[in-house]
Structure 1
Amino acid sequence: MFSRKTRLSVCIASIVTALSVAGCGSTVAGSSIPAELDVRKLDVGSYSTTPLDMRYTYQNDLSGGLKLAVMRLSDNVVTGMDIDPRFKYSTGSVPFVDAAKATTVLADVTKPVLERNKMMFGFASGSVDKEPDKSGKKVDGQSFTTVAVMQFPDEAIAKQAATEIEDADFAVAADKNEKIALPGYPDAHTHWRPGVATIGSVMAKGSYVISLYLSHTTPDLAALKDLAEKSYAAQVPRLDALEPLTAEEVLFLENDPDGMLRRTFNPNAMGLPDPGKQGSYTMQGFLHQVANTAHWKQTLTDVGLDRFSLSYAGSFSTSMLFRTRDADAARRLASTILDGVYPGVADAPAALPDAKCGEGKSTDDIERKRFRCVVTYREYTATVEADQLRDAHQRAAAQYALLANSQ
């Protein structure tokens, strides 16, 4: 079966982490419109309120292009809930652009196969049906899904790669594994080990290869086959709608196609693409980055979220921006973002309309800042975080001014 030696990395309990205090630039003179405050008067400290694209220019190259390709792919890879609503919790995701990283999800023996067939990039996502314990470890009676999607140079190579991945994985325990067929997907290469409650399957779809590693509570072959077919049924249509990229197209992907990153608080103007740290996603891409998939899918569907971005500024800090249906939806989203992770009462910056701040639970996690503040501007909801409340207020003010200056 596919390797389980490395568990998919677990995201934090609510959303990703916070922004650093290091800033640059100064407040850019902006203009207010009727019914809006004058952002020139806000206390933004030394933080810049200039849109990112006026401070940073992305230089297209292969490294950045592959990372953008991975983020594009993540917007089209299923979560466990897409397969079956009972898989409500994420075990994390793994973006990869080389065979070595891919084998943190696939079996080690597949590495030569991926290299020989020139795998371009891929993305894997895992889910479970019972919430992991506080340390992120599995609990008794837990079933899981792991779906990995990889792109290869063309359809013929993808088909060959799928066959070789299965052959290499099956051969690890050829005397114990048993090949099986999926009636709905005759092109899929599938096997299991009788008496073990897992199943592995791999199938080419155009220039893509889908790899599945799934489990059931008991070694029930019928249930495992059904779960595999549900996984393909959920994933295949998404790839049908996603045109594969040529090597040249990878080089010319846009870094900020919807103008989200230019509006996201990024004081150091660090704009290089980096999955999970610096990028723009659809709601699907966001859901791969949170632990409670069910909660966030419902929350974001209710507010009509269509785009999410996050930016980093060093020191394990991150800021986030959500684009919702309208201003009312943005305010509703803002009212939920502090729940759970930042439940403590903290003063909000008085000058910002509808701003909220919360204090987090004490933790040894260096990526969890003490305070989070949330601001809204029109259809946007944004978060900033800091270890000092005044710093969090200045960041919140800078983020609000940035949104006003980006219109």
Structure 2
Amino acid sequence: MRRPGPAVLRRVCATLVVGVVSTAVAGCGSVVAGEAVRAEPDLSGLDVGNYPTEPVEFGAAEDNEAARYREGQRLGDFVALPFEADPGYVDRIVGTGGPVVLDRRDMQALVVNDTFDEVAADLVAGWVHTWSTEGDPGSVQQLSIAVLMFPDAATAESVAVGLERDDFTFNADNRPVQLSKYPQGKAHWRPGNASLGSWTAHDRYVVFVKYDDRSGRADLPAMVQRTESLLDIQMPLLDEFEPTPPEQLNEIALDPDGVLALTLPKSPQTIAMFGPPDAFRGRGAVYALTGITNLDFLDTGQVTGIALGESVVVRSETLRGAEALYENFRPGTNDSGGSRVIEAPKGIDGKAECFSRQVAAYENPSSFCVLRTGRYFAQVEGGQIQDLHQKTSAQYALLLHG
């Protein structure tokens, strides 16, 4: 597996589908013994081009790095998003790290010292992201959070102390700060700078939080409050997470819910640029979804799985949940960039609409289709209309295996 870099998937696609099962009955109320047989879908009216219509079996991680990366994805579902603590954080900042953390490179500029890999040598996996308030980049408030997982609580405590010590000594002007609600936390700031960094051990985890007010107006009590409010959300989430046992890590399933198999597969070139495909059950997927400022869609959509491949597939527990996802994500409800309706492909059983984004809202013109079929919602990105229709039709065909 090529090691994924810090780049974030910039395009979003999501798809939903439900398998069709037929049961055999005979006569008036008589039942034929045997297992139900899946009805073969009729794809004769679909133009799928050269895109695959059969699911790919992902199996288990092929090496330790792939296993750690997958464990980082699992952890991502339990890492708080800043807008959960304060709805004012509406903009996801790219290029600041991760989201999966395997070593210092994935923390990027959030870690200023060069001892991270030495101090955190026993790192299993981590997850990191940064969000900001809306406005001019030079005056916004930024809030970053990283959760790093270690083999045990003793190691995590040692790492938290070591990383804070090295952050603290990196600049002689730094001063220690006490987090009253989290006395185990190690925090510091530099007087005159509206920035606060902290490392807090919690069981086998180390939680890093950095608050940065680019306007320079925040005082120390405000920065402490911001940090503690995010920790208030984060700590209970970690108590819910169940790490993969060490002896089972290298056998970790890459697609445990079977949703990733239903996405259009990423090309090797895309994997090299943006990282391998992802499988989530909740908030972890938000790192790659645009326009999300709360987690309401997880409840209203009754989401049971989210997969990010060349498309994004979201599975709902119910048909009603899938319909809610469709209405929430189709343009007109949350597409601030604007879009216009274009022709949709034929032969899709369910709902399917396609749109072209306004060039002014994006660096390059782009088109996409959204569809709902059964318990699945999907969005597929494409360039030329024919190619977009073929990809969307292939995505629909894949979903029929769900």
Q: Same fold (TM over 0.5)?
A: yes
Q: Deviations over 1:140-159 (max 9, x none)?
A: 2x112111111122221211
Alignment match of 1:178 (pick from 175, 179, 184): 175
Q: Deviations over 1:8-41 (max 9, x none)?
A: 86774xx5379xxxxxxxxxxx989699973343
> In the alignment, is residue 357 of structure 1 matched against residue 350 of structure 2?
no
1:69 maps to a residue whose letter is: E
Distance 2:21 2:156 in 1: 54
> In structure 2, do the counterparts of structure 1 residues 210 and 91 end up closer, same or farther at CA, with 3 Å as the change threshold?
same
Alignment match of 1:345 (pick from 334, 341, 347): 341
Aligned counterpart, 1:108:
113
Aligned counterpart, 1:68:
70
Query: How much has 1:257 moved relative to structure 2?
Result: 0.8
Distance 2:357 2:46 in 1: 25
What is the TM-score of this pair, normalised by structure 2? 0.81
Query: How much has 1:168 moved relative to structure 2?
Result: 0.6
> In structure 2, do the counterparts of structure 1 residues 78 and 57 end up closer, same or farther at CA, with 3 Å as the change threshold?
closer
Where in structure 2 are the equivalents of 1:186-205 lying within 5 Å?
186-205=183-202
Q: Deviations over 1:111-158 (max 9, x none)?
A: 25435x422222111111225x6xxxx142x11211111112222121
Alignment length (residue pairs): 368
Distance 1:123 1:378 in 2: 32
Please report the RMSD computed on the Cα atoms of aligned residues, expressed in angstroms: 3.3
> In structure 2, do the counterparts of structure 1 residues 255 and 274 end up closer, same or farther at CA, with 3 Å as the change threshold?
farther
% same residue:
27
Asked whether the 8 Å contact 2:103–2:117 carries over to 1, the reply is: no
Q: Deviations over 1:88-119 (max 9, x none)?
A: 2221451221233334422233325435x422
Asked whether the 8 Å contact 1:58–1:271 carries over to 2, the reply is: no
Query: How much has 1:58 moved relative to structure 2?
Result: 4.5
Distance 1:309 1:359 in 2: 23
Q: Deviations over 1:276-313 (max 9, x none)?
A: 6401112201122235431x6344443233321111xx
Alignment match of 1:310 (pick from 300, 308, 311): 308
* SS of residue in 1 equivalent to 2:265: coil
Query: How much has 1:167 moved relative to structure 2?
Result: 0.7
> In the alignment, is residue 324 of structure 1 matched against residue 316 of structure 2?
yes
Unmatched 5+ stretches in structure 2: 1-5, 24-38
Aligned counterpart, 1:121:
125
User: Which range is displaced more, 318-327 or 162-171?
Assistant: 318-327
> In structure 2, do the counterparts of structure 1 residues 208 and 273 end up closer, same or farther at CA, with 3 Å as the change threshold?
farther
Query: How much has 1:265 moved relative to structure 2?
Result: 2.1
Aligned counterpart, 1:22:
none
> In the alignment, is residue 220 of structure 1 matched against residue 210 of structure 2?
no
Query: How much has 1:84 moved relative to structure 2?
Result: 1.8
Where in structure 2 are the equivalents of 1:162-173 lying within 5 Å?
162-173=160-171
* SS of residue in 1 equivalent to 2:151: coil
Query: How much has 1:266 moved relative to structure 2?
Result: 2.3
Query: How much has 1:344 moved relative to structure 2?
Result: 2.1
Distance 1:278 1:381 in 2: 18
* SS of residue in 2 equivalent to 1:288: helix
Alignment match of 2:208 (pick from 201, 207, 211): 211
Asked whether the 8 Å contact 1:384–1:395 carries over to 2, the reply is: yes
Where in structure 2 are the equivalents of 1:237-248 lying within 5 Å?
237-248=236-247
Distance 1:268 1:192 in 2: 44
Distance 2:377 2:204 in 1: 37
* SS of residue in 2 equivalent to 1:41: coil
Asked whether the 8 Å contact 1:58–1:272 carries over to 2, the reply is: no
Query: How much has 1:348 moved relative to structure 2?
Result: 0.6
User: Which range is displaced more, 56-65 or 154-163?
Assistant: 56-65
Higher relative contact order (CA 8 A, sep 6+): 2
> In structure 2, do the counterparts of structure 1 residues 264 and 114 end up closer, same or farther at CA, with 3 Å as the change threshold?
same
Distance 1:112 1:373 in 2: 43
Distance 1:392 1:71 in 2: 29
Query: How much has 1:268 moved relative to structure 2?
Result: 6.1
Distance 1:389 1:111 in 2: 47
Asked whether the 8 Å contact 1:124–1:149 carries over to 2, the reply is: yes
* SS of residue in 2 equivalent to 1:214: strand
Asked whether the 8 Å contact 1:96–1:102 carries over to 2, the reply is: yes
Asked whether the 8 Å contact 2:311–2:378 carries over to 1, the reply is: yes
> In structure 2, do the counterparts of structure 1 residues 271 and 244 end up closer, same or farther at CA, with 3 Å as the change threshold?
farther
Aligned counterpart, 1:16:
12
Q: Deviations over 1:227-255 (max 9, x none)?
A: 12112111111112223445433212111
* SS of residue in 1 equivalent to 2:70: helix
Aligned counterpart, 2:33:
none
* SS of residue in 2 equivalent to 1:82: helix
What is the TM-score of this pair, normalised by structure 1? 0.80
Aligned counterpart, 2:231:
232
Distance 1:58 1:273 in 2: 20
Q: Deviations over 1:332-380 (max 9, x none)?
A: 43343343457122101132242111112337978x6732112211110
Query: How much has 1:209 moved relative to structure 2?
Result: 0.8
Asked whether the 8 Å contact 1:255–1:273 carries over to 2, the reply is: no
